[in-house]
Amino acid sequence: MLLAQRKLGVAQRAHSRAAAPMVARASRRSLRCEARKVALLGAAGGIGQPLALLLKMNKFVTELALYDIVGTPGVAADLSHCNTPVKVTAFSGAEELDACLSGADLVIIPAGVPRKPGMTRDDLFNTNAGIVQNLVRAAGKNCPQAVLEIITNPVNSTVPIAAETLKAMGVYDPKKVIGVTTLDIVRSNTFVAEARGLDMKDVDVPVIGGHAGATILPLLSQATPAVTFTDAEKAAMSEKIQNAGTVVVEAKAGKGSATLSMAYAAARMAESTLLGLNGEPNIYECAFVQSEVVADVPFFASKVLLGPHGVAKVMGLGELDAFETAALQAMLPQLKTEIQKGLDFAKANTA
Ligand SMILES: NC(=O)c1ccc[n+]([C@@H]2O[C@H](COP(=O)([O-])OP(=O)(O)OC[C@H]3O[C@@H](n4cnc5c(N)ncnc54)[C@H](O)[C@@H]3O)[C@@H](O)[C@H]2O)c1
Ligand SMILES: O=C(O)C[C@H](O)C(=O)O
């Protein structure tokens, strides 16, 4: 299964490359491994535990530092018995956070509360904004060179919080602050493959915008391989992708939101990021980053090229069809409001 997963990841990246014709294809050469420390904050949670397992199985990770406010020693003890070379270390409580982060190359943050049925992602803001800001502050202090990947919702606001907080500390590098939207791509690939009877590993659908409701905009017109949908089918497929998180929240009936698929998606994003850090060329993912691709929207999810310093280049949106152009215009007010909410929170809570 591990081998199959790895092949799937490589195949998906190959298709991301195929979908970006302006960039030369990667030369065929062996992948480089360098010593890499990954810190996982919120490691004992619903996403944290399966993500920790996937990272323990990742050949590009050297040390996996697990942090949570509770439960980390048990997760680490359990995980450390898997006979893979990744060294697992455990850190619990605020007094151990600095040590967890020291020397990290990549910091992944799924810490915070998930939705319950009836809630929007924005309803998590009051609890999660402060959690993310404190953890980002600690990262800015202990590993300012690290790439930060933020999973905690609402991503449309927590990423601006992270950026503004690091800016106030004088250590902000837009190449290194990434909102993880990979689950939207994973879902789009799955749903489009199912709808058209395609092999899962062949499908790549870019998803742009943000990570909440209408701000999640799959670009079905840019899917690889090319698929055709009527306007009604496009609307239905887009809504299915936008609503997928809520479907999981409702199915879990009060016991949280997507964890396993999110861990899978975050592990893919982490591996792509480590490949970029290791100098592997032509590694693309869609992610929510500081951006200028849409006027007056300072953060936006689109395809990015990952490189030795994090985001090497934010790619353009390509050609949108009429349906996608209208959907983009319609979602911008929500996205701008959620971004501004994060920026305002960070400014009001500058240490
Ligand atoms: N970006 C996405 O696509 C995506 C997908 C799924 C879930 N999420 C979000 O990820 C977050 C986590 O979801 P989950 O299902 O793992 O929740 P969870 O409640 O199962 O786990 C969260 C963990 O965070 C820990 N935590 C809380 N405060 C902390 C702090 N100050 N420092 C360190 N750890 C802390 C908790 O102890 C817990 O172990 C939620 O906000 C959820 O909405 C995002
Ligand atoms: O839906 C949620 O609250 C979690 C996550 O953002 C998701 O898309 O599954």
Alpha helices (H) along the chain: 2-18, 48-56, 72-79, 97-101, 125-142, 155-169, 182-196, 231-242, 244-252, 260-277, 322-348
Task: Say what the pLDDT of residue 329 is.
Answer: 98
Tens-digit pLDDT profile for residues 9-64? 443 443 343 333 222 334 435 577 799 999 999 999 999 999 999 999 999 999 99
309: annotated active-site residue = no
Tens-digit pLDDT profile for residues 325-341? 999 999 999 999 999 99
ipTM value: 0.99
CA nearest to 162, candidates 115, 109, 216, 96? 109
- The pTM of this model reads 0.94
Q: Over 90: is that where the pLDDT of 239 sits? A: yes
Least confident of 12-16, 64-68, 88-92, 245-249: 12-16
Following DSSP, what letter does each residue of 101-116 receive, concatenated?
Answer: HTT-SEEEE--SPPP-
Catalytic residue among 15, 81, 211, 309: 211
Give 168 Cα–ligand 1 centroid separation in angstroms.
25
Task: Say what the pLDDT of residue 1 is.
Answer: 27
Q: Which residues line ligand 2 (CB under 6 A)?
A: 114-115, 121, 153, 183, 211, 245-246, 248-249, 257-258
Q: What is the mean pLDDT of the chain?
A: 92
Q: Are 21 and 233 in contact (CB under 8 A)?
A: no
Q: Tell me if the bond preceding 154 is cis, omega within 30° of 0.
A: yes
Q: Are 94 and 72 in contact (CB under 8 A)?
A: no
Pick 8 or 137 by higher pLDDT.
137
Q: Over 60: is that where the pLDDT of 145 sits? A: yes
For the residues 208-224, what does the mean pLDDT come to?
98
Tens-digit pLDDT profile for residues 259-305? 999 999 999 999 999 999 999 999 999 999 999 999 999 999 999 99
Task: Say what the pLDDT of residue 30 is.
Answer: 58
**Best probe residue, ligand 1, of 121, 150, 152 (max atoms within 8 Å of C-beta):** 152
Q: Over 90: is that where the pLDDT of 165 sits? A: yes
CA distance 35 to 312: 21
Contacts of 269 (CB under 8 A, 6+ apart): 149, 178, 180, 182, 285, 287
Task: Say what the pLDDT of residue 26 is.
Answer: 40
CA distance 273 to 149: 9
Tens-digit pLDDT profile for residues 166-214? 999 999 999 999 999 999 999 999 999 999 999 999 999 999 999 999 9
What percent of the chain clears pLDDT 90, i.e. is strictly above it?
A: 90
Return the ligand 1 atom nearest residue 115 CA.
Answer: 43
Tens-digit pLDDT profile for residues 284-295? 999 999 999 999
What percent of the chain clears pLDDT 70, i.e. is strictly above it?
A: 91
CA nearest to 191, candidates 139, 252, 242? 242
Give 245 Cα–ligand 2 centroid separation in angstroms.
4
For the residues 88-95, what does the mean pLDDT come to?
97
CA distance 271 to 55: 9
Find the helix or strand (DSSP H, E) in which 288 lies. Answer: strand 283-290
